Structure 1
């Protein structure tokens, strides 16, 4: 299952037979930590006024937070399901990572009702964009006993699949009590997240004892789950499911069409999934690039939709000639910055670029998905903070498909070097594509676990 290059799963790996046998639901009783569970639940109830206030505050920027509150307490019209398959993906990144697994479940089990939960409105929007009405979507309820019981009673799952990292003690205990096998798939756990969970001590370890199997992205992730208390025999490495995502067939064609609109020979770079902590460096780097390449174009996509207008305002404040996706559709020859203020279109814009900087990495967010540009044979530039995708980023760095920088000057140098050297771009892009192809197969390994749970 695991290759020997730093614990990364490879496309030729397969699950050892004992993993499929041992993952069967054997969670130990939770009663030995009843007091901790009671105190945790009490804190959750006491925190509800703060949680609701936070929803109201977030709704100032994104009005979707003001809607569908009943779902957050497990209240929605029961769809009449029995023995459904439930997948939870907290937000946009997790929904994107879950896409190939959801497609595989729909193909393998067409007779089963599929439920997909998210927490954020942007995750909800992405779920609907990807899957439409082909599955049932609601928000995951808060981790309150009555809300969890109401939710599970309405969807009646035969299997619970949590994508990446979501540990909710009451939810996990409720699945255990109802005999619902629970898998954590595509599981990742950074050092930072582990420190936070470790502070909860026995509460987390007993929650992980309710999990049937942890299918981790890498050996490092698996080791951290074991350190938190997940039973060693129920933790293994299956790899990163995003490698199994199919590149949209029209992404390259659409990207090339956009290139022709603003000039095929024009140097173009993209700053994707940026946060406020990235953007000052991005503006400085682009200003420096324009001094060397006056016709350079920056495409920029902020991570959070509620910041789209602010991003446009900041770009104009820097003195750049700015166009936006919503207002102008495409950049013209006169524009220096193009703000991608839309969702679900990054792949064609990666294809339309010569090189990609992936955000969340110049600030301690931990970085975002570097695979999409790599899958399209685009060189990747990242900052020093990539702990959310450390294994994947390391693979690209080792292969020469990515470059790590530390500040605005380094960003300008790395982007400028790629824009000025077509051969360098081609070599880095091909290296990234090879990594992408080499690491495929995680979904197949996860499906083996799911098949074992359901038969």
Structure 2
């Protein structure tokens, strides 16, 4: 059987399954909407039905949610700066990702949700926005989308590409199709050599894959965050402060128990608590109140009062500056089997880092921080508590950790330059004048 015929059969089977699941997408949006109202809006974008006029000549970046948007921010800023005459389209899948795009760039970029991976929908998306170059961030491997980009003549790269061993195993049923889709790419800019090898194992050609490093090292550290932290400390005084960041539902009871344990030693200890998802803000507040802690929230008061034991950060896009207000950070998604969250953010702000063992989404960063002595990776809630207690008690240990972390972040820069170099020829081709007619 020819390769083209095999591809067609695989695509037909994959698309047929997705069409069967279309009613499930409606149920999913409604179910998520009960928890986060934004999921009940803008459905037309998810099915590639647009009321706006078509665009031409866009540069397109796809970043699924908040973490990917933050990772792509240096790249998007560079594209806006170096190609100001072109419209930049940024797509996401989640409302929190959408909100982050608007917070960072407002009307400087176009933004819609990426449609579901059905042939007709992705073709309508491409016909409407007519991208001339696509940059997909991290691990969004949608076969019909990649094949449609090839058929529309859109060069596509996966940038800041990561693929954990677990994700690779998860693709095993779709591997024949995904492998063919990967070979339509212009290139894969992998975060690490391990990520690059896994992309090749999944089906990419070795000559498609380059190791460019992790764009998260390129994060912008706003000097205003340090000023905010100084102001915060002046207002709360000499109280010790720790932050529980990007926590998930099964970690919430752990956070409450850890805070109770730590306050037994430091009665004036303040917890800054930033749940990962907006639908968990209220649950965190309630859990804190139920535990008997005086609780304030960011939306009601900019600063915690002297009597507050917990301050819930129930806003988006402010985590980085609150990291700098704490002596120690617990980064969530790591006691629950989520895969961890960005450890470089507290590293860049000078906050000592404690995390749980589930770090498969950030394995390379965790290894680098671990080798530098810049993170404490603990195995369970009890040992996380031990590490928090030790670091709150030992300023010298915190200083050693944070100095090592900041050095690592500074030394890790360069991924942005290498990524731009990788796509430079395609960017240059967009700006080249048309060839004269003979």
Same structural fold, with TM-score higher than 0.5 when normalized by the shorter chain: yes
Q: Does 1:190 align with 2:151?
A: no
- What 5-or-longer segments of structure 2 have no aligned partner? 430-438
- What 5-or-longer segments of structure 1 have no aligned partner? 1-27
Q: Is the 8 A contact 1:30 1:206 kept in 2?
A: no
RMSD over aligned Cα, in angstroms?
A: 1.3
Determine the C-alpha separation between the residues in 1 that align with 2:308 and 2:3: 62
- Equivalent of 1:95, from 47, 52, 69? 69
Determine the C-alpha separation between the residues in 1 that align with 2:104 and 2:34: 26
- Going from structure 1 to structure 2, the CA distance change for 1:139 and 1:214 (only over 3 Å counts) comes to same
Corresponding residue number in structure 2 for 1:45: 19
Q: Does 1:146 align with 2:120?
A: yes
Corresponding residue number in structure 2 for 1:11: none
Provide, for residues 294-315 of structure 1, a one-character-per-residue CA deviation record: whole Å limited to 9, x for no partner.
Answer: 1111111000001100111111
- Equivalent of 2:204, from 222, 230, 235? 230
Q: Which has the higher contact order (CA 8 A, sep 6+)?
A: 1
Aligned length: 427
Provide, for residues 137-176 of structure 1, a one-character-per-residue CA deviation record: whole Å limited to 9, x for no partner.
Answer: 0110111111111110111111111000011111100011
- Equivalent of 1:436, from 394, 404, 409? 409
- Going from structure 1 to structure 2, the CA distance change for 1:447 and 1:79 (only over 3 Å counts) comes to farther
- Equivalent of 1:449, from 406, 422, 438? 422
Please state how far the C-alpha of 1:29 moved relative to its aligned partner: 7.1
Provide, for residues 97-152 of structure 1, a one-character-per-residue CA deviation record: whole Å limited to 9, x for no partner.
Answer: 11000001111111211100000111000000001000100110111111111110
More moved, 46-55 vs 324-333: 324-333
Determine the C-alpha separation between the residues in 2 that align with 1:445 and 1:82: 27
Corresponding residue number in structure 2 for 1:337: 310
- Equivalent of 1:260, from 218, 225, 234? 234
Please state how far the C-alpha of 1:30 moved relative to its aligned partner: 4.8
Q: Does 1:378 align with 2:351?
A: yes
Tell me the SS of whatever aligns to 1:437.
helix
Please state how far the C-alpha of 1:328 moved relative to its aligned partner: 2.7
Determine the C-alpha separation between the residues in 2 that align with 1:78 and 1:207: 30
Tell me the SS of whatever aligns to 1:126.
helix
- Equivalent of 2:398, from 422, 425, 431? 425
Corresponding residue number in structure 1 for 2:107: 133
TM-score of the superposition, structure 2-length normalised? Answer: 0.95
Q: Does 1:60 align with 2:34?
A: yes
Q: Is the 8 A contact 1:284 1:408 kept in 2?
A: no
Q: Does 1:359 align with 2:337?
A: no
Please state how far the C-alpha of 1:83 moved relative to its aligned partner: 2.1
Provide, for residues 60-79 of structure 1, a one-character-per-residue CA deviation record: whole Å limited to 9, x for no partner.
Answer: 11111111111111111344
Corresponding residue number in structure 1 for 2:436: none
- Equivalent of 1:288, from 244, 261, 270? 261
Determine the C-alpha separation between the residues in 1 that align with 2:250 and 2:4: 42
Corresponding residue number in structure 2 for 1:19: none
Determine the C-alpha separation between the residues in 1 that align with 2:4 and 2:90: 27
Please state how far the C-alpha of 1:279 moved relative to its aligned partner: 2.1
Provide, for residues 26-48 of structure 1, a one-character-per-residue CA deviation record: whole Å limited to 9, x for no partner.
Answer: xx975432111001101111101
